[in-house]
Amino acid sequence: MDQKELDAYKAFMYDPKNSHNCKECTMNEGFSAWPESRLPCGQFHCWVDVHGKGKIRKNIEIVDEWLKWYSTATDDEKYHTNFDHFYAERMGLC
């Protein structure tokens, strides 16, 4: 796998919108007669889901956003905002 193929693989696998997009997945072996309701790749669980449903990428984006914000925030803003709350807001947890 060359770098271009690796980049395409990562872009696909770490995008949660590709969950169960078997038609476009490089892991699709085209199997349709698997017992026990397996996917066309032969797995029980989607490769995209196994790669973290994009959570790793989302976490990196949130940390990058935090660092950009923190580098320009005033001391007062820094005092009144903590990373846990910042993260929870971005993840839709509050």
pLDDT single digits (tens) 3-42: 898 889 888 988 888 988 999 998 887 777 666 667 888 7
Percent of the chain predicted with pLDDT > 70: 88
Q: Does the pTM exceed 0.85? A: no
Q: How many angstroms separate the CA atoms of 85 and 42, rounded? A: 40
Q: What angle do CA 46, 52, 58 make, to 5 degrees?
A: 135
CA 26, 31, 32, 35 torsion: positive or negative?
Answer: negative
Taking a C-beta distance cutoff of 8 angstroms, is the pair 72, 78 a contact? no
Count of other CB atoms within 10 angstroms of residue 47: 20
Other beta carbons within 10 angstroms of residue 16's beta carbon come to: 14
**Which residue would you say has higher pLDDT here, 63 or 55?**
63
Calpha distance 15→28 (Å, rounded): 17
Q: State the pLDDT confidence band at 55, using cuts at 50, 70 and 90.
A: low
